[in-house]
Amino acid sequence: MGAASPDRQLVDAVLAGDQEAFRVLVERESRDVLALCRRILGNPHEAEDVAQEAFLRAYRSLPTYRGDGPFGAWLWRIAMRLAVARVRQRPNHLQADPQRVEGWLLAAVEGDPLGSVLDDERRHELARAISTLPPEQRQVIAMRFFADLSLDEIASGTGTPLGTVKSRLHRAIGHLRDTLERPR
């Protein structure tokens, strides 16, 4: 059996009571986690809160870290889930960046990326259509279009193969297009 990875060694040291080892992990990963949270949330103060919560959750969940992948990717998934959940708690989370949502939706549905602004009814239609997607497709849509993450970032953050992310996104867009193009 091979030697434990450096990440696994640090986690084992933390589990044995070495707080300095956790400080090393936090210092190493904090910049990337904070950048991810800022990107998803758009608010630096909210991003700091969520990043801190991610480190706290990671600390409490260290016994579940298997060590079969980088600690940073494991932590990134925790932070991403927390940040996306925070966005969903917002009263108008689909309107977090209306221009991006509207531009994407017009391009996807009407083929016109320079189309006019969607009215409230159209936004509600979009929200209803997204709510009908399976959870894994909803997650990819939220991360790609509302958090503006690349497909590679989504794959890395969720621990899902890139091909699966692409497939889920393609299916979700097709479903949304079909749903929104139906005559009322």
Query: Are 46 and 115 part of one and the same domain?
Result: no
Q: What is the pLDDT of residue 67?
A: 81
**136 CB neighbour count, 10 Å cutoff:** 15
Query: Are 14 and 65 part of one and the same domain?
Result: yes
Q: Record the tokens describing residue 133, joined without a space.
A: 């997607």
Q: Which of 157, 120, 154, 153 is nearest to 137 (CA)?
A: 154
Alpha-carbon distance of 44 to 39, in angstroms, equals 9
Tell me phi and psi for residue 69, to 5 degrees.
-150, 175
Q: What is the pLDDT of residue 2?
A: 54
- Number of domain units in the chain: 2
pLDDT, tens digit, 9 for 90 and up, residues 45-91 = 999 999 999 999 999 999 999 887 788 888 988 998 898 788 777 66
Query: Are 61 and 108 part of one and the same domain?
Result: no
Query: Are 82 and 104 part of one and the same domain?
Result: no
Alpha-carbon distance of 104 to 114, in angstroms, equals 10
Query: Are 98 and 48 part of one and the same domain?
Result: no
Mean pLDDT of 139-148: 77
Query: Are 36 and 111 part of one and the same domain?
Result: no
* Domain closes at, from 64, 89, 114: 89
**pLDDT confidence bin for 133, thresholds 50/70/90:** confident
Query: Are 14 and 77 part of one and the same domain?
Result: yes
Query: Are 177 and 99 part of one and the same domain?
Result: yes
Q: What is the pLDDT of residue 120?
A: 56
Pick the residue with more confidence: 51 or 43?
51
- In CATH, what number is assigned to the domain containing residue 10? 1.10.1740.10
* Domain closes at, from 89, 120, 145: 89
Query: Domain of 133?
Result: 94-181
Region label for 90, one of left (φ > 0), alpha (ψ between -120 and 50) or beta (otherwise): beta
- Residues 138 and 85: beta-carbon distance below 8 Å: no
pLDDT, tens digit, 9 for 90 and up, residues 80-132 = 889 878 877 766 544 434 444 444 444 444 444 434 444 556 766 777 788 78
- Residues 162 and 151: beta-carbon distance below 8 Å: yes
Query: Are 38 and 99 part of one and the same domain?
Result: no
Q: What is the pLDDT of residue 109?
A: 45
- In CATH, what number is assigned to the domain containing residue 122? 1.10.10.10
Q: What is the pLDDT of residue 101?
A: 45
Q: What is the pLDDT of residue 184?
A: 60
27 domain residue, yes or no:
yes
Query: Are 139 and 70 part of one and the same domain?
Result: no
pLDDT, tens digit, 9 for 90 and up, residues 161-176 = 999 999 999 999 999 8
